[in-house]
Chain A
Amino acid sequence: MKILVCISNVPDTTTKITFTPDGKEFNTAGVQFVINPYDEYALTRAIELKEAQGGTVTVLNVGEADTEPNIRKALAIGADDAIRVNIKPTDAFLVSQQIAHYAKEGGYDLILMGRESIDYNGFQVHGMVGELLGIPTIAPAIKLDVNGSTATVEREIEGGKEIIDVALPLVASAQQPMTEPRIPNMRGIMTARTKPLKVVEPVGQEAKTSVQHYELPPAKSGVKMIDAENAGDLIKLLRNEAKVL
C-alpha cells in the first residue's frame, strides 16, 4: 500500500500570536514551528498501517525551505521519503492543487491529512484534494483501518460517530483519538538524514483568496471575583448582569 501523508508546518501550540506592525504578516520572530498536531495522528497511523501490512509512507509538504526540519522530523518518526513543493502556502486552493498533482503522479492508495491546520484553521485542503482527484474524503476521521482495497473509517459527527466502509483510493483527515502520536527515537533521527527528500516545483499556482490584514481580539476588561462563600451569587450575576441565563 502506498500512503501519502500531508503535513503542514505551524507555530508551536504555546506560541503567543503577534503580527507585524502593519498587520499584514504573522510575526515569526522567535517562533518555533512544529508539525501540525493533527497531522501527527495521520503520520503515526500511516506508519502503523505500513508496519502491519507493508508498503511505503511518503510525506508531502507545500512550503519553503524553512519547513525542512519538520519534514526531517517526519522521516525520523518513520516515513520512508518526502516531497517538498517549493512555494509559500498562502491559500488552501493553491496548496490543494500542489497536493493533488503530486498525489496523482505518485498513484497513492491512501492520502492522510490532519483535521485542520492550527494556524489558518481551514478544514479545507482535504475536501479540495478529494474533489480535485475525484475521490472521497472522510473528515474528520477518528479511527482508520484498511483491509485489502477497502478502508473502514469512523467519522466524528456532531453528537456521535458513524462507521463507513469505503473503497480506496481515499483522502482521510485525522484527529484524536486515532492513535498515540510517536516521537522520533535516536535511530530514527540518524536514518532520517539519509532518507530521500525531493524538492519539486509548484504547478498551477492560482490562489482564490488573499489575506489583507490580521488582528488580535480585544483584551478582556478584567475579571469580577465572587467570594466562594457566596458562590450562589454568581448565578444571579449571570442572569441579571451578564444576561446569559
Chain B
Amino acid sequence: MSVLVVIECANGEVKKSSLEAASYGSKVAAALGTSATAVAIGDVQANALSSLGEQGVSKVLLDNDARLHDFVGAAYVKVIAKAAEQENSSVIVLSNSNIGAAIGSRLAVKMGASLATNVVSLPEISGASFKVRRGVFSGKAFSDVELTSDKKIIAVKKNALDIETSAGATATVENFSADLSDADFSTAPKETIKQSGDILLTEADLVVSGGRGLKGPENWHLIEDLAKALGAATACSKPVADIGWRPHHEHVGQTGITVSPNLYIAVGISGAIQHLAGVNSSKVIVVINKDPEAPFFKAADYGIVGDALEVVPKLIEAAKAL
C-alpha cells in the first residue's frame, strides 16, 4: 500500500500546486504508516523531479511520452490508474486544478473510489473513518465529508495548506510507461493558445484586481503597474470582463475563477457577494475604494478610502522602493 501523488508539470518544472499536493500526500502517507510515491506527467525531466524528496516523496514515476505534454483526459487517467495499480495505492492525491479535478472524477469511477475535491484540510483518520474538510458554497462555507469507499481520491485546493520542505532530500526517479494507444488521444488539442509572460492567476501568491471603479480600460495600466511592481497576477470583477476591458479568464468570483492567494488587492471593486465568493479565502485582503460604505471593507484586512487614480500611483511608488 502507498499514497500516490499526481504531479503536474509545465515548462520543465513542477507546478507549485503539485508541490502542495506532494507535501499533503507525504503527510497522509505518514499518518497511514506508508510511503508516498509520485507519478509525474507533462513537460519535465528527471532532474527536476528528484527534489520532490524535499516534500517527503520517496519515489517518482515519470512517463515522458511527449504526447502527454498537453492535457488529454483519457490518456492521463490511464497512466495514473496503472501507476496506482502497480504501487497498490489506496489514496490518490491531486491538485484541485482544472486538470486535477478532471482526472479525479474519471479516476474515481474507474477505480470505484470516493472523491473529494476542493479539500482544505489533512484527513482525520480514525479506524475505518476517513474525513476531510472541503470548501463548499463558493467559499462561503466548509463541509466535513466522510469518504466511504476503500479507495480515496483527494483534490487539494490551491494555497490552502503549507508546503513542507526538508532541504536536500531527494526522491528516486523511475521511468514508467502505460502503453498508450492513439485512441487514448482522441481529445488531444489541435492548437494551444497561451498568453505569454504573465503570472498565472490560478497559481499566483499575490493578486491585484480591478473593478468598475477604474472607470475605463485607459486606467488599467495602474493595475498592471502595481502588479508588476509586486510580482503579482492581475484579475478583475465580472462587469469589467463583460464590457470587454479585460478577458473573461481574469474574472474572479462565483461565476468566474476562484483564487486563494496570500494577498488580494481589490481596487474599485464594490465587494458584491458574488465577487467575494471567488476571493474570500485569500489570506490577506486589501480594499481600495472611494466609498467608505463599500461592502468589501467588511471582508478586508486593510483598507484605504480614496480615489484609485490617486492612491494606486502612491502604492506603485512604495512597492518599487521595497
Chain A interface (Cβ within 8 Å of chain B)?
Answer: 11, 13-14, 16-17, 19, 26, 37-38, 92-93, 96, 118-128, 130-132, 136-140, 142, 155-167, 175-177, 207-217, 220, 223-228, 231-239, 242, 244-245
Contact = CB atoms under 8 A, between A and B. Distances in A.
Instruction: Please tell me the size bucket of the interface on B.
Output: 35 or more
Nearest to A114: B255
A13 B315 contact: no
B300 A220 contact: yes
A214 to B, nearest CB: 5
B35 interface: no
Contacts of B237: none
A71 to B, nearest CB: 21
B319 A128 contact: no
Interface string B293-322: 000011111111111001100110111011
A226 B256 CA distance: 30
A166 B186 CA distance: 7
24 contacts: A13-B255, A13-B274, A93-B109, A96-B109, A118-B137, A118-B255, A121-B118, A123-B101, A123-B117, A124-B101, A124-B105, A127-B105, A132-B109, A139-B98, A157-B99, A158-B200, A209-B115, A209-B146, A209-B148, A212-B143, A223-B297, A228-B305, A231-B306, A238-B284
Contacts of A17: 137, 140-141
Contact of B318 (A131, A165, A217, A232): A232
Interface string B67-109: 0001101100100000000000000000011110111111011
A128 B114 CA distance: 11
A150 B305 CA distance: 53
Interface stretch (B48-56, B169-177, B189-197): B189-197
A124 B200 contact: no
A140 B255 CA distance: 12
Contacts of A93: 108-109, 115
Given A176-B248, A208-B113, A232 B191 contact: no
- Majority DSSP secondary structure for residues of B touching A: mixed
Contacts of B137: 11, 17, 26, 118-121
Q: Which of B142, B201, B249, B319 has the most CB of A within 10 A?
A: B249
Given A209-B114, A235-B319, A223 B254 contact: no
**Interface pairs A-B: 5 shortest CB-CB:** A127-B105, A228-B306, A232-B318, A162-B189, A160-B194
Interface in B102-154: 102-106, 108-110, 113-118, 131, 135-149
A207 B146 CA distance: 11
B281 interface: yes
B117 A121 contact: yes
A164 B251 CA distance: 23
A131 B109 contact: yes
Contacts of A37: 254-255
A24 B142 CA distance: 12
Contacts of A126: 105
B70 A162 contact: yes
Contact of B311 (A125, A138, A140, A228): A228
A124 to B, nearest CB: 4
B198 A159 contact: yes
Contacts of B64: none
Interface string B222-253: 00000000100000000001000000110100
B320 to A, nearest CB: 9
Given A128-B105, A209-B147, A223 B319 contact: no
B45 interface: no
Contacts of B106: 127-128, 130-131, 137
Q: Which of B70, B71, B73 has the most CB of A within 10 A?
A: B73
A142 B73 CA distance: 17
A37 B256 CA distance: 11
